[in-house]
Structure 1
Amino acid sequence: MKLTNINHIFFDLDHTLWDFDKNSELAFREIFANQKLEFDIDEFLEAYVPINFRYWELYRNNSVSKEALRYGRLKESFDALKFETLDSTINEIADDYIKYLPNNNHLLEGSVEVLDYLSKNYMLHIITNGFEEIQQTKMRNSGIHEYFRSITTSEDAGVKKPHPQIFKKALEKGGALPWNSVMIGDNLEADIIGAANYGLKPILIDPANKFPEHDYLRIEKLKELLIYL
Structure 2
Amino acid sequence: MEVKVSDIFFDLDHTLWDFEKNSALAFREVFMKYGIDVNLEDFLLIYIPINLKYWELYQYDKITQDQLRYGRLKEAFDQLGYEIVDDMINILSVEYIQYLPQFNHLFEGTEEILEYLSKKYRLHIITNGFHEVQGNKLRNSNIHHYFRTITNSETAGVKKPHPQIFEYALKQANVQKENCIMIGDNLEADVLGAINCGMDAILFNPEKPATTENIKCVAHLIHLKEYL
In the superposition, the TM-score normalised over structure 1's length comes to 0.97
CA distance in 1, matches of 2:138, 2:120: 21
1:156 counterpart = 2:186: no
Aligned equivalents of 2:98, 2:223: Cα separation in 1: 33
The aligned runs of 1:126-137 (5 Å cut-off) are: 126-137=125-136
In 1, Cα distance between equivalents of 2:174 and 2:135: 20
Equivalent pair of 1:129/1:161 in contact (CA under 8 Å): yes
Q: Which residue of 2 aligns with 1:178?
A: 177
Instruction: Report deviation, 1:144.
Output: 0.4
- Quote the offset at 1:39 in angstroms: 1.5
Q: Offset of 1:212 from its aligned partner? A: 2.2
The residue type equivalent to 1:219 in the other structure is V
**Other-structure match for 2:35:** 36
- How many angstroms apart in 2 are the aligned matches of 1:109 and 1:126? 18
Compute the displacement of 1:213 (Å): 3.0
Cα distance in 2 for partners of 1:89, 1:48 equals 17
Tell me which moved more, 209-218 or 165-174. Answer: 209-218
Q: Tell me which residue corresponds to 2:62.
A: 63
Over the residues paired in the alignment, what is the CA RMSD in angstroms?
1.1
CA separation of 1:211/1:131 partners in 2, compared to 1, >3 Å: closer, same or farther? farther
**Partner residue, 2:25:** 26
Tell me the equivalent position of 2:50.
Answer: 51
What is the alpha-carbon distance in structure 2 between the residues aligned to residue 214 and residue 59 of structure 1? 28
- Does the CA contact (< 8 Å) of 2:209 and 2:219 recur in 1? no
Q: Deviations over 1:129-179 (max 9, x none)?
A: 000111011000000000000000000100000001000000010111110
In the alignment, the residues of structure 2 paired with residue 74 and residue 121 of structure 1 have an alpha-carbon distance, to the nearest angstrom, of 42
Q: Which amino acid aligns with 1:98?
A: I
Q: Which amino acid aligns with 1:176?
A: V
**Structure 2 residue 118 is matched with structure 1 residue 99:** no
Q: Distance in 2 between the 1:217 and 1:210 partners?
A: 9
Kept in 2: contact 1:185–1:205 (CA 8 A): yes
Structure 1 stretches of at least 4 aligned residues deviating more than 6 Å after TM superposition: none
Aligned residues: 227
Letter in 2 for 1:193: L
> TM-score scaled to structure 2, two decimals?
0.98
* Contact persistence 1:6–1:181 (CA under 8 A): yes
Residue ranges of structure 1 left out of the alignment (5+ in a row): none
Taking every aligned residue pair, what percent have the same amino acid on both sides? 53
Distance 1:115 1:47 in 2: 33
1:65/1:196 CA distance change after superposition, 3 Å: same
Provide Cα deviations, 1:36-73, integer angstroms capped at 9, x if missing partner: 11111000000000000000000001000000000000
Is the 8 Å Cα contact of residues 111 and 222 (structure 1) preserved in structure 2? Answer: yes
Contact 1:188 1:211 in 2 (8 A): no
Amino acid at match of 2:146: Y
